[in-house]
Amino acid sequence: MERSLPQPAAELNRFLSELDKVILGRAIEWAKKCYKTALEALDEAIAACRGKELSIEHRRAVWYQTCLGPVKVRRRQYRDGRGRYRYLLDELMGMGKHQHITVAVQGLALETAAVMPYRRSAEVLRKASAIDLPHQTIWRLVGRVAKPYLEKAQQELERFLQTGEIPEGEGREVAQLMVEADGVMLSLQREKARKAEVKLGIAYEGWEKVSKDRYRTVNKTAFAAVGDGDAFWAGMSLKLQGKYDLSRVGATIVGGDGASWVKEGARYVNGRFQLDRYHLHRELTTALGKDRETKAKVWDACERGEVETGLQVMADAMRRVKGEQAERMVRAYNYLLDNSSGLGDYRLALKDQGKGLRRTGAIEGNGDKLVARRMKNQGMSWSVKGIRSLLCVRFLVLEGKLTAFLLDRQRREASVTVPRRKIRAIVRRSLIRDPGERLHAELPALRGPHASRPWATVLKAISQGEAL
């Protein structure tokens, strides 16, 4: 007995609500076949272009993870002169030995993983595209992509520390360079320690106005590392040397919260330490509370760089209080004393060159944007290796270098080349069949007993590219 159909209007409305999804599914199926045809033809071209030392063993099928979804491709296995088994098509496409993921999918997976948890990244890709990768695969992909980048960076750092040799850079010259640093604590798992500090540094050349009372930094450079202060500043200095000629920078200001490793940075970059006003204000407010008069006197003395005057005002105020407030004032007094070299407003020392410059403090927002927002809270915990890998990928994404890095990696891993003209001809032949014909052929409803129904008429017009 034939299944009864709803009234034409209701059925048409329901069908139209999912029409884009239906057509997209058909288009993807057609695209998968084109992709399979193109790659298997490319494998034929590789076999013709291979070196004489490579012998063909057999052909094996594998599922490629593409933007179209999984596509099963048959390709040849080769054996080289040293007895190693290789798949040249995989190498040409930039795929790993056990992860057959196209460069385009790698880029999308890494970009989403850089801004959201791995599970959420996999879910978003699955809902928004045909890409279906387990979150564990995305996690492994982050580590695999970051590993060669981190190894190269470590080699350059060790060479720099041993020989003082600086890689050739841009050699930019600027009137002033602002450098700020701060630490972000992250929870650890499967490590001896419970916490690890990510040391974050940014450098920028100044500010530009975005809107009323809003500014943004100019030509920002960011660097992060897990380790001691010396290793961090060596890496930060190396990155800055690749961009600037530090010997020709007019003035370098190093801002921070007063931590000893932050102040050490002034020595590495030949700069002057400046205590962030946010931390100074917080310490004075905690110690003095509602005593605005004393707070104003200490603040003004610090701004002018009159450290002794500020300390004397604090000492006089401490004699008038007892208990917990006295303890807070002692802590604030010691804080001012420890950071006396950075209390004065740096702009006063620059005189005319300091006009138009702003206070330091951009590191506070950047600590949240670059590290904490992705890697802190929400019950997250990490291994040290996982922190380094994700920071590496995250910075590649934020600096707009990820795509170039993946393509360069694909080029270096490919051991066989096929003429570009031949590749274009292969792709052109795989696309020569009209997709409209295939779509029409795979929709039996257009020729079935309900071909005259309104919804079938609409679908037939769309499949043939006619206006409704």
256 and 172 both lie in a single domain: yes
Same domain for 286 and 258: no
Identify whether residues 201 and 259 lie together within a single domain: yes
Do 196 and 317 sit in the same domain of this protein? no
Is 317 found in the same domain as 262?
Answer: no
State pLDDT tens for residues 62-77: 999 999 999 999 999 9
User: How does pLDDT run across 321-373, given as a tens digit for each residue?
Assistant: 888 989 999 999 999 999 999 999 999 988 888 888 999 999 999 999 999 99
Whether 260 and 353 map to the same domain: the answer is no
The last residue of one of the domains, among 308, 326, 359, is 359
How far apart are alpha carbons 122 and 118 in whole angstroms?
6
Q: How far is CA 406 from CA 16, 412, 413, 458, in A?
A: 40, 10, 11, 44
> How confident is the model at residue 6, as a pLDDT?
47
Predicted local confidence at residue 259, as pLDDT: 94
103-113 helix and 118-128 helix, angle to the nearest 10 degrees: 130
In a domain, 56, yes or no: no
Identify the top-confidence range among 11-15, 59-63, 415-419: 59-63
Size (the chain), residues: 468
Q: Does residue 247 sit in the same domain as residue 297?
A: no
Mean pLDDT of 49-56: 84
288 and 305 in a single domain? The answer is yes
User: Residue 174 is part of which domain span?
Assistant: 166-271+362-381
Task: Report the share of the chain in percent with pLDDT over 90.
Answer: 59
Going by C-alpha positions, the residue among 42, 93, 35 that lies closest to residue 69 is 35
The model's confidence at residue 4, banded by pLDDT at 50, 70 and 90, is very low
Residue 226: per-residue pLDDT:
95
The reply to whether 197 and 255 lie within a common domain is yes
The answer as to whether 53 is a domain residue is: no
Q: What is the pLDDT of residue 372?
A: 92
Q: Would 170 be classed as within a structural domain?
A: yes
The verdict on residue 204 lying in a domain is yes
Indicate the pLDDT class of residue 410, thresholds 50, 70 and 90: confident
Average pLDDT over residues 86-113: 89
Domain match, 170 and 260 both: yes
Q: What pLDDT score does 186 carry?
A: 95
Number of alpha carbons in the 13 Å side-chain half-sphere of residue 150 = 20
Residue 327 lies in a domain: yes
Mean pLDDT calculated for residue range 111-126: 95
pLDDT for the residue 5: 42
Check residue 371 and give its pLDDT: 94
Are 369 and 264 in a shared domain? yes
pLDDT in tens, 214-232: 899 999 999 999 999 999 9
Whether the pLDDT of residue 32 is over 90: the answer is yes
* Residue 130 CB neighbour total at 10 angstroms: 18
Average pLDDT over residues 420-441: 68
| Number of separate domains in the chain | 2
Name the CA radius of gyration of the chain, rounded.
31
Instruction: Give the model's pLDDT for residue 188.
Output: 94
What pTM, to 2 d.p., does this model score? 0.82
Structure tokens at 308: 């002794």
Q: Is the pLDDT of residue 208 over 80?
A: yes
Give the whole-angstrom CA distance, residue 83 versus residue 35: 31
Tens of pLDDT, residue by residue over 176-207, are 999 999 999 999 998 999 999 999 999 999 99
Average pLDDT of every residue of the chain? 87
CB atoms inside a 10 Å sphere around CB 80: 15
Instruction: Give me the mean pLDDT over the 49-68 stretch.
Output: 90
pLDDT of 460 reads 67
In a domain, 74, yes or no: no
Q: Residue 134 domain-assigned?
A: no
The last residue of a domain, from among 381, 414, 436: 381
- Residue 454, pLDDT > 80, answer no
pLDDT confidence band for 3 (50 / 70 / 90): very low
Q: Given pLDDT bands bounded at 50, 70 and 90, which one contains residue 61?
A: very high
Whether 438 maps to a domain, the answer reads no
On whether both 192 and 326 belong to a single domain, the answer is no
Distance CA 114, CA 397 (A): 7
